[in-house]
Chains A and B, each alone.
Chain A
Amino acid sequence: MAACSSNSNMRREEQTEEKKKAREKSAKKRSKEEGDEGDEGEEIFSFKDKAAVDEEEDDDLSDSEDSVYSGLEDSGSDSDDEDDDDKDDNEEEEEEEDGSGNEDEEEDLKTETQQTGQTEQKKTTTMKKKKEGKEVTEEEKVNEYEHDSSDEEDIRNTVGNIPMEWYKDFPHIGYNLDGKKIYKPIRNKDELDEFLDKMENPEYWKTIHDKQTGRDIVLSDEQVDLVNRLQRGQFGDVNFNEYEPTVEFFTSDVMIHPVTNRPADKRSFIPSLIEKEKVSKMVHAIKMGWIKPRRVEDDSKGRYYDLWTGEDSSLVAKHKMHLPAPKIPLPSHQESYNPPPEYLFTDEERALWDQQDPSDRKLPFVPRKFSSLRQVPAFPRFIHERFERCLDLYLCPRQRKMRVNVNPEDLIPKLPKPKDLQPFPTTQSLVYRGHTGLIRSISVSPSGQWLASGSDDGSVRIWEVCSSRCMKTVQVGGAVKSISWNPNPAVCLLAVAVESVVLILSPSLGDKQVISATERLLSGQQEAETTEGEGPVSWIETEGEELNQGIHLKIQHAKAVQQVAWHAKGDYLASVMPDHSSHLQVLIHQLSRRRSQNPFRKNKGLVQCVSFHPIRPYFFVATQRCIRIYNLVKQEMTKKLQANSKWISSMDVHSSGDHVICGSYDCRLGWFDLDLSTKPYKMLRHHKKAVRGVAYHRSYPLFASASDDGSVIICHGTVYNDLLQNPLIVPVKVLKGHEITHDLGVLDVTFHPTQPWVFSSGADATVRLFT
């Protein structure tokens, strides 16, 4: 309290030197007041209070300030009543009674205080002045209002709104309006003081520190009350009644006289242009459909009616192109919740299912078995499946697929029964054994009594057909590539191709007449031979051991001979020496004159086999891809047959000379009709492996093909005299018997000249007869 008083004293001294006049005028009271610390304190506080409020609420809340104002005014008067010493009571009352506005002496004081600019301060001071009971002039009032409007802070300290720490090292705390220093209180409180104060001072809780002036201020009870009220959100003034009845400015009752007698404006009679503009805009917008009037709730969306009342078929025709979506396939037993046990997956099937890509799976789910319905869970892919169906419906192209609904039996062509096409060989009746190597070539004597076979074991064997006895074995000292019986029934001669030699062999079997005729033929030629000079080949007469074996002549070629073929008359003999580079591939030998000649000047490809036309002077040469037919008389090519195969292996000409068959290494057999076309009339793909040999029967309409798959297929091929009827080519029998050795099956096939029998020789060193 001492500090307080000193403070107030000091302040007094510093701030209000100019108020001295006034003080002097009311010396008594002044002195009393000065002495009264409480009063002073209060005065200070009122400013302080404002400052605090300002601090709290910034400076924009003018309303609250008003309320503060009103509250303070009252409280100020109240506080005056209560706080002032009893001595003053009477005077105060008197003053109040006198009237609030009488302040005469205060004018000066007012002007002074106005300069301080603090409203509250001013007011309090005015209140003080009221107490003093002096007269008030109009002038003053005007002034008062003037300053009342300002809500500036009390700037006793002129340093402004700065952090007060800046002054902490100085003895003063700022400057007053006159530019004099305002000094800090003499002694600063430290922590201990603070604590002691806190402990001892009962009013500590309502003491606040004013930073700007550096003083402590104790709030009065009223002020505390005010603060509390404000905090509660009540009016600052206790006596203010917020529920007072309103005083209406205008009465609600209609008076007989108008408030104003002014005649109505012209514009109140004329429609508003602005409104007109606005309305017309809206109307236009509605017309244009930009604004729609509020729509009536349309519930027709969910209303159903008989859509198909007048069904007309005109719409149906419109949608001819439209394909209805295929239905989902119906579930099978596998999908059951309790399927039969055979439909459940085994472990392997399950593993396979897991491994497979979802698109490869046969079933899109795993069949499962549940012992009762309550154990069945939800199907996890249900929504997926439905969604996939949706995608199918609108994303998948649809196509009408013609389903081939044929009975497979109908596809099989109706062929004449083999039974009706008899005779043809059906069963294997004889096996000729004796060779040790694979048998490349066989040939039957024109009488049909003898069969000659040449093998890789270097021997030629002659068999009796009916008994399968080996009548003769001739060692020729090399693998026999080809063997051919002279077709002339009057002689008994064999041509054998061994390496680069063609042997003319007389087996000397059968009738003595025939044997002697053969001898004559062979011996009679000798004279003629001598006249012949140097040729592509040399004719060698054999003697000694070889002659004893029956080998009469050797025709020495330059290269290995692949095939020999007789002319039908039995005098001419053709030999084939396949060679890519040379034009010397085919030689024609004349036996009676022991002459050889090369018919071709040019190399037209690798010659596979050759054959004479049975009746006419034609010569067939088969190269890899095609068969050329040469006229030997005119010495020109007459025809070229396209075989439509990769590599011809063998060829045979029908005894009538009109048809040719050729087998190829790519499993095909081509049947040519020379009158019709140069293309095969029919290609037969019956064999599984390369065709090695083909043969025509001389009298029966049969032909046979031998293949590496170990089978001989007999086909019936009739050509009708009626040209309109197509030739009938029907396979009639598949003959099996040869074993496949070293991937080679049947190597050669030939028919019996008179009987419907077929001989075949194979890589298993046997010759078989099928009858």
Chain B
Amino acid sequence: MGGLQKKKFERGSATNYITRNKARKKLQLSLPDFRRLCILKGIYPHEPKHKKKVNKGSTAPRTFYLVKDIRFLLHEPIVGKFRDYKVFVRKLKKAYAKTEYSDVERLKDNKPTYKLDHIIKERYPTFIDALRDIDDALCMCFLFSTFARTGKCHVQTIQLCRRLTVEWMNYVIASRSLKKVFLSIKGIYYQAEVMGQLITWLVPYQFSHDHPTDVDYRVMATFTELYTTLLGFVNFRLYHSLNLVYPPKMDSKSDLELKGEDEEDYAMDSESYLEKLSALSTSLARVFSSVEDEEAQLDQFPVEGEDMENMEAREKEQKQQETQTKLFEGLKFFLNREVPRESLAFIIRCFGGQVSWDKSVCIGSTYDATDETITHQIVDRPNIDKQYISRYYIQPQWVFDCVNAKILLPVEDYFMGVTLPPHLSPFVEEKEGDYVPPEKLKVMALQQGKKPAEEQEEEDEDEEDEEGEDEEEEDDNDDDEEDEEEEAEEKSLKKMEEQRSQGKSLQVKVTPGKVKVENPARLEQEQKAEEKRLAIMMMKKKEKYLYDKIMFGKKRKIREANKLAAKRKAYDDAEKAKKKKARK
């Protein structure tokens, strides 16, 4: 038979993938440009199933992209812009070298720029897609907005990031969508529910950054470029969904109040405006000012039996949510200068509280520390000189814990100078068999309306829980115990036999036999366990492997939970002993 000889690697998976260098050559881009393009377009490498086949028989480590992806990049208008920019830089260099400064000026005026709008639209075809992916954008923008305005990136970028993040926070305040907050050692986590999407972002603590040398800021800057565009469009849409004016404007009432106070400190009007916005103390102007807070009422539909329950449950949930968003309503806070102002003001305003701070800390304070109507003053120092009786002096953790617990926690644990209770992560959802810290149980009890005096009971509960865990373990140990029993029986038998075989001391002694009380439940359990063991023996190899793996994972989880419980117990014991000593 004739026919062409089939060559290797000319069909199949080898033709579906392309190495990075080849892709780069195909696009005629330098590596940094290629990288930028990939970042902007969201193209990532793929791991082929049969690497050796794709790699044409070689096993060298290579990065592979899908040929389709690269072909997709080929039609990107931005690629042309990249090339333009390359040419521009070359021309500029030449002009500088020839000291033709007029040319330099002209070239600079014609610097090629590009817009990312179409890329955003392409990557996030629907608004929900964009919201789903906004976590990273928020984290990055919040990080960049804390950078010093020297060195690492353009000042414009930093300003833009700051502006966008402030807009975002203002939106969250206006929509009251903040759900959870968490003070971690890395920074402050916030979680908001926007249009049904849970959005989590991390804000670093307000310190200047020690810029590491092993970080490529170009990559970060490219990401930021994309993220600022994305966040801008998202903000626009969100503002319009709330009938707010975008770019945000302060309410005319509050604007008037603030005017004339600190105006002279800022050179530019726009600057002071941003500062005022970022103070987060004013509400925003709406497109139709006449519409006050209109709550979307659930329309009552005539429903039938099954749906009724669902409906009720939903209504209940909504009611709960409403109460949560009005958590701090009616409370008046004052922030001392040592507490993180922005984050606390943001949280308190999100939950309807009134907040102010010292005039010298930041623009936008609405009332003074001497105001008699202040209910809570947030302090982070061991003591304070002048105290008012009319207000609580509490540490900032109270605010965070209250938000997470969705109720106003008793303030006693959070007074000034008091050792704080542990701050728990609201993002952990304990499943059956996981370790639950006792503090969480306490909070849960409080949520259900119990009083904190029932601590003793809770502890008992704890113990019960632990017992439950133990029982599980017992199940595992059952077999061993059985064996042990058998062994014991056998031993006694053996003894008897030996005695018999020795024969010398035939002290035949008839003792009343003990009735062996058989626990029917236990017997049944044993039987079941044995059945299970036999069934496990009959498992196929593959399934057995999987089963073993799952069981190993489960056991490890239990072990970890037990370890934590044991650690806690040891700690509590130590504490108790200390207390006793102190009492004596």
Interface residues of A (CB under 8 A from B): 292, 294-295, 298, 300-302, 304-308, 311-313, 315-316, 318-319, 321-322, 324-325, 327-328, 330-333, 335-343, 346, 365, 367-368, 370-374, 376-380, 382-387, 389-391, 393-399, 404, 406, 408, 411-415, 417-419, 431, 433, 684, 686, 730-734, 736-737
A397→B185 contact, CB < 8 A = no
Residue in B140, B532, B547 with the greatest tally of chain A CB atoms within 10 Å = B547
B425→A383 contact, CB < 8 A = no
- B135 at interface by CB-CB < 8 Å: yes
Closest 6 pairs (CB-CB, A-B) = A330-B427, A315-B125, A378-B207, A397-B47, A342-B568, A342-B567
Contact for A415 among B68, B129, B160, B535, CB less than 8 A: B535
The CA of A245 and the CA of B400, in the complex, are separated in Å by 84
- B467 at interface by CB-CB < 8 Å: no
Which chain B positions have C-beta within 8 A of A397? 44-47, 64
Which chain A positions have C-beta within 8 A of B102? none
Q: A308-B121, A412-B539 are in contact. Are A301 and B115 (CB under 8 A)?
A: yes
Which chain A positions have C-beta within 8 A of B359? none
A390→B139 contact, CB < 8 A = no
Which chain B positions have C-beta within 8 A of A346? 567
- B397 at interface by CB-CB < 8 Å: yes
Smallest CB separation, B325 vs chain A (Å): 22
Residue in B35, B246, B567 with the greatest tally of chain A CB atoms within 10 Å = B567
The CA of A408 and the CA of B497, in the complex, are separated in Å by 45
Contact for B136 among A330, A393, A404, CB less than 8 A: A393
Smallest CB separation, A220 vs chain B (Å): 52
CB nearest to B247 among chain A residues: A304
Smallest CB separation, B13 vs chain A (Å): 14
B456-491: CB near A (< 8 Å → 1, else 0) gives 000000000000000000000000000100100010
- B240 at interface by CB-CB < 8 Å: yes
The CA of A167 and the CA of B178, in the complex, are separated in Å by 101
Which chain A positions have C-beta within 8 A of B538? 413, 415, 730-731
Contact for A333 among B35, B210, B215, B428, CB less than 8 A: B428
B184→A391 contact, CB < 8 A = no
B550-569: CB near A (< 8 Å → 1, else 0) gives 11001000000000110110
Smallest CB separation, A718 vs chain B (Å): 14
Q: A304-B246, A383-B215, A408-B550 are in contact. Are A373 and B567 (CB under 8 A)?
A: no
Smallest CB separation, A319 vs chain B (Å): 7
The CA of A198 and the CA of B567, in the complex, are separated in Å by 100
B105-124: CB near A (< 8 Å → 1, else 0) gives 01001100101010011101
Q: A302-B160, A338-B423, A390-B219 are in contact. Are A732 and B130 (CB under 8 A)?
A: no
Which chain A positions have C-beta within 8 A of B43? 394
Q: A333-B428, A373-B380, A412-B532 are in contact. Are A686 and B537 (CB under 8 A)?
A: yes
- B270 at interface by CB-CB < 8 Å: no
Which chain A positions have C-beta within 8 A of B367? none
Can you list 19 A-B pairs with a CB-CB distance of less than 8 A?
A: A306-B236, A306-B237, A307-B117, A308-B124, A340-B422, A340-B439, A341-B422, A342-B437, A365-B185, A367-B185, A368-B185, A378-B210, A379-B187, A387-B216, A389-B139, A393-B136, A396-B44, A397-B47, A404-B546
A295→B136 contact, CB < 8 A = no
The CA of A395 and the CA of B223, in the complex, are separated in Å by 13
A331→B425 contact, CB < 8 A = yes
Q: A324-B133, A376-B205 are in contact. Are A336 and B184 (CB under 8 A)?
A: yes
Q: A295-B109, A342-B564 are in contact. Are A308 and B130 (CB under 8 A)?
A: yes
Contact for A306 among B44, B46, B240, B532, CB less than 8 A: B240
Which chain B positions have C-beta within 8 A of A433? 497, 501
Number of interface residues of B (CB under 8 A): 110
- B351 at interface by CB-CB < 8 Å: no
State which residues 398-453 of B face A: CB under 8 Å. 419-420, 422-425, 427-428, 437-439
A311→B126 contact, CB < 8 A = yes
The CA of A385 and the CA of B246, in the complex, are separated in Å by 33
Which chain B positions have C-beta within 8 A of A684? 537
A418→B531 contact, CB < 8 A = yes
The CA of A316 and the CA of B129, in the complex, are separated in Å by 10
CB nearest to A364 among chain B residues: B186
Which chain B positions have C-beta within 8 A of A396? 44-45
B215→A384 contact, CB < 8 A = yes
A411→B126 contact, CB < 8 A = no
Smallest CB separation, A753 vs chain B (Å): 26
Which chain A positions have C-beta within 8 A of B130? 308
CB nearest to A729 among chain B residues: B538
CB nearest to A314 among chain B residues: B125
CB nearest to B152 among chain A residues: A383
Which chain A positions have C-beta within 8 A of B117? 307
The CA of A365 and the CA of B68, in the complex, are separated in Å by 40
CB nearest to B547 among chain A residues: A411
- B308 at interface by CB-CB < 8 Å: no
- B132 at interface by CB-CB < 8 Å: yes
B133→A372 contact, CB < 8 A = no
Contact for A731 among B339, B497, B537, CB less than 8 A: B537
Q: A295-B110, A308-B121, A342-B571 are in contact. Are A382 and B209 (CB under 8 A)?
A: yes
CB nearest to A368 among chain B residues: B185
A382→B486 contact, CB < 8 A = no
A371→B246 contact, CB < 8 A = no
Contact for A380 among B39, B68, B210, CB less than 8 A: B210
Smallest CB separation, B440 vs chain A (Å): 9
A399→B47 contact, CB < 8 A = yes
Which chain A positions have C-beta within 8 A of B35? 394
Which chain B positions have C-beta within 8 A of A370? 185
The CA of A419 and the CA of B534, in the complex, are separated in Å by 13
Which chain A positions have C-beta within 8 A of B294? none
Smallest CB separation, B168 vs chain A (Å): 13
State which residues 123-155 of B face A: CB under 8 Å. 124-127, 129-130, 132-133, 135-136, 139-140, 143
A327→B135 contact, CB < 8 A = yes
B419→A339 contact, CB < 8 A = no
A395→B422 contact, CB < 8 A = no
The CA of A325 and the CA of B536, in the complex, are separated in Å by 39
Which chain B positions have C-beta within 8 A of A730? 534, 538
B372-408: CB near A (< 8 Å → 1, else 0) gives 0000000011000000000000011100000000000
Which chain A positions have C-beta within 8 A of B396? 373
Smallest CB separation, B472 vs chain A (Å): 14
B110→A292 contact, CB < 8 A = yes
B37-49: CB near A (< 8 Å → 1, else 0) gives 0110011111100
Residue in A306, A308, A312, A433 with the greatest tally of chain B CB atoms within 10 Å = A308
A736→B486 contact, CB < 8 A = yes
Which chain B positions have C-beta within 8 A of A384? 212, 214-215
Which chain A positions have C-beta within 8 A of B109? 294-295
Which chain A positions have C-beta within 8 A of B46? 397-398
The CA of A93 and the CA of B35, in the complex, are separated in Å by 95
Which chain A positions have C-beta within 8 A of B185? 335-337, 365, 367-368, 370, 376, 379
* Seed contacts A336-B422, A336-B423, A395-B63; 19 additional CB < 8 Å A-B pairs: A295-B110, A298-B113, A304-B246, A308-B126, A308-B237, A328-B200, A330-B200, A331-B189, A346-B567, A365-B186, A374-B338, A379-B187, A383-B209, A387-B220, A394-B39, A397-B64, A413-B535, A414-B535, A418-B534
CB nearest to A366 among chain B residues: B185
B143→A391 contact, CB < 8 A = no
The CA of A368 and the CA of B117, in the complex, are separated in Å by 43
B47→A417 contact, CB < 8 A = no
Contact for B419 among A371, A404, A412, CB less than 8 A: A371
Which chain A positions have C-beta within 8 A of B136? 325, 328, 389, 393
B120→A307 contact, CB < 8 A = yes
The CA of A530 and the CA of B351, in the complex, are separated in Å by 115
- B581 at interface by CB-CB < 8 Å: no
Which chain B positions have C-beta within 8 A of A325? 133, 136
A379→B204 contact, CB < 8 A = yes
A386→B139 contact, CB < 8 A = yes
Which chain A positions have C-beta within 8 A of B536? 412
